[in-house]
Amino acid sequence: MTAAGNISPENIRHLELADIKAFFKEHGEPAFRATQVYEWLWKKSAHSFDEMSNLSKATREKLKEHFVLNAVEIDLMQKSKDGTIKNAFRLFDGKKVEGVLIPAENRMTACVSSQVGCSLECKFCATGKLKRERNLGADEIYDEVVYIQRQAMEHFKMPLSNIVYMGMGEPLLNYSNVLGSIEKITSPEGLNLSPQRITLSTAGVAKMIKKLGDDEVKFNLALSLHAATDEKRNQIMPINESNPLKEVAEALQYFYKKTGTQVTYEYIVFKDFNDTPQDAYHLAEFCKVIPSKVNLIEYNPIDEGRFQQTLPERLQMFVRFLRGRKIVVNVRHSRGKDIDAACGQLANKVIKEALLK
């Protein structure tokens, strides 16, 4: 609490530049101070007011008196034998999320979380076993990217080339903060990354997919599909019961009409569940909804999970079947399995233990 009116300090990164200008005007300081502060907050990614070296000590103390800067910190970093780096990020309130740097020959990809835990309870995902604690703020998501960007430069001498919102949580259930983070990441006043290098992955929240279309977003959209019939999808993704494939397909058509952006379908191929020729046929039929491509994903078993990775010959059958129907398909092999950083494994150990207490 502050002495002035017993009002708790406000998170300064929740303010727009105009708000900070108004603050300085109210305290008799020139407006350009606000521009300096804003640049420190976003372009320079300062995590404390003391880092703002072109401000006087008196000005920095005034900022401390009225504001907080709830910076994210790295609680634990693990590096896989394949180079993948997983971070357990500690938030200002002590809660934790995970973010991953995935290095490849020609790209550096950051996989970031948007929620502490998740409410969707997908049966094949470690995060799905956790309750949702809260949404991340735009500034917290931004910090994840900043840290992973620094790791890319420090460990691989390459900048980030891609960002995927595929970590913990459902991004479309934290809509305003996720889009706010993307706005700062892509802004010249922030990290100045291209929105076309950003992919948001959703389990299929139909009304929010339509909202993405209404907002005419410039980034890419991926749908975590994993089964192309309601019967099977209901078994592994409870969200499908309230957002059946027909409604999701209509939302995707609306999104494509508004944005002209093709969608990627993510499809984990599970042994003896969704890996038959009939399953491949249903997936090919769903691909007719809008221009799309398919990422077939290698499954990473989680503790006590009921699913297993499909056989190589069945995976290749899927590839041949889809390509035979002129569908663009890529096989995504998992990275970072030895540190539980692969797809579906986030929160498998450290975070799960913390959140389940």
**Residue 248: is its pLDDT beyond 50?**
yes
Helix (H, G, I), strand (E, B) or coil at 196: helix
The pLDDT > 90 percentage for the chain reads 83
Residue 332's pLDDT band (cuts 50, 70, 90): confident
Q: What is the pLDDT of residues 268-296, one digit of tens each?
A: 999 999 999 999 999 999 999 999 999 99
Q: Which of 189, 291, 273, 184 is nearest to 231 (CA)?
A: 273
Q: Out of 98, 140, 170, 266, pick the active-site residue.
A: 98
Q: What is the pLDDT of residues 56-76, one digit of tens each?
A: 999 999 999 999 999 999 999
Please state the pTM of the whole predicted model: 0.91
Cα–Cα distance for residue pair 227/260, rounded to 1 Å: 25
Backbone angles phi and psi of 43, in degrees to 5: -65, -40
Cα–Cα distance for residue pair 33/39, rounded to 1 Å: 10
DSSP state of 204: -
Backbone angles phi and psi of 328, in degrees to 5: -70, 125
Identify whether 98 is a catalytic site residue.
yes
Cα–Cα distance for residue pair 251/36, rounded to 1 Å: 42
Q: Which of 268, 114, 277, 139 is nearest to 200 (CA)?
A: 114
DSSP string, 104-164: -SS-EEEE---EES-SS--TT-SGGGSPP-EEPPHHHHHHHHHHHHHHHHHHHS----EEE
Residue 336's pLDDT band (cuts 50, 70, 90): low
Integer CA distances (angstroms), 134 to 67, 97, 143, 307, 342, in order: 22, 11, 17, 28, 23
Helix (H, G, I), strand (E, B) or coil at 301: coil
Q: 10-68, which class in CATH?
A: mainly alpha
Identify whether 125 is a catalytic site residue.
no
CATH, range 73-355: 3.20.20.70
Q: Out of 111, 118, 122, 343, pick the active-site residue.
A: 343
Q: What is the residue extent of each domain of the chain?
A: 10-68, 73-355
Residue 303's pLDDT band (cuts 50, 70, 90): low
Q: CB–CB of 161/108 below 8 Å?
A: yes
pLDDT number for residue 307: 87
Cα–Cα distance for residue pair 81/25, rounded to 1 Å: 53
CB atoms within 10 A of CB 75: 17
Helix (H, G, I), strand (E, B) or coil at 357: coil
Helix (H, G, I), strand (E, B) or coil at 308: coil
**Residue 97: is its pLDDT beyond 50?**
yes
Token look-up 């780096």 returns 85
Q: At what angle do helices 245-259 and 206-214 cross, to 10 degrees?
A: 10
